[in-house]
Structure 1
Amino acid sequence: MKLGAACYALIAVGWLVSGVLTLRGFGPYAGAERWFQVATAAVVGLTGVLFGVGAATRRGLIADRGPWICRRGWIVVIGLVATAFVLSLLTDQDGVPPFPNLLAAFIPPWVRRLQGKYYEGVQEAERELSPGEPGGVTRPVG
């Protein structure tokens, strides 16, 4: 999961930076009420922390085994996206995106699929590069 962990780490940094910028009132959040800035920054920051956990554990947020957060973290991400949507409905600030972290809901399945395709490609390359034994039997690689 090296590639997936690196992807999760980059995404985590992006979400944490976004949370700080939201808290400071950057862009569409400049004129928003302070409670809204803090709540949205907390939701976006928690999303970043969650992706950071996925990177640190090297299992992601939609793993087959491991701690609960690694197996069901994507449900928490969807909950955070829904919370951000509800927060956007509660503010009267114009220009605030209704789903500031909608992309986060699609990242865990995307990374899992990316990882699966990567390992399929590695296995295919190993099969092509390994010479066949007499009788059509190939040697195990490793």
Structure 2
Amino acid sequence: MNLTDEEIFRNGIEVANDLQAQIRDGIEKYTYFLLTAAGACIGYSVEKIARSPIGWQMIPFALSLTGWSISFWLGCRAIKHRVVWLRHNYASCFLSIAHPKPDFRDVNSLIGKAARVADISNKWQFRFFVLGGVAFVTWRLLVLLPHG
């Protein structure tokens, strides 16, 4: 069976769109995973602090809560900007259908900005999550190790 150039092109576009959807789904699952983990860590650590004396050892604990809170916020921010990115893409598609020679400069600028903000938020979401984890382990070691 011989495929025409147009059929090969359409098949390639379909494969690229499927791959893009899989990448987007993977990123979204990862973002939601980190959101859930950060929320659980905040809840667990707040429960743990109820039995701890206040002292200089609380500095790493405060850092862990701060890291996880920022991680959670960045995850929400990434999701928000991913939705904005999808809306701008939809507007771009609608514009290309509705107008014979559309000017995409403004829409493309908005799409690029939303994508950059989402990417940066995803990168820093993980970093702050790890910071929170390291700080929490440090706090637990300070609390549990004998003070001599």
Q: Please indicate the TM-score interval, normalised by the length of the shorter structure.
A: 0.3 to 0.5
TM-score normalised according to structure 1 size: 0.42
TM-score normalised according to structure 2 size: 0.40
Structure with the bigger RCO (C-alpha within 8 Å, sep 6+) is 2
Between Structure 1 and Structure 2, the one with more helix by share is 2
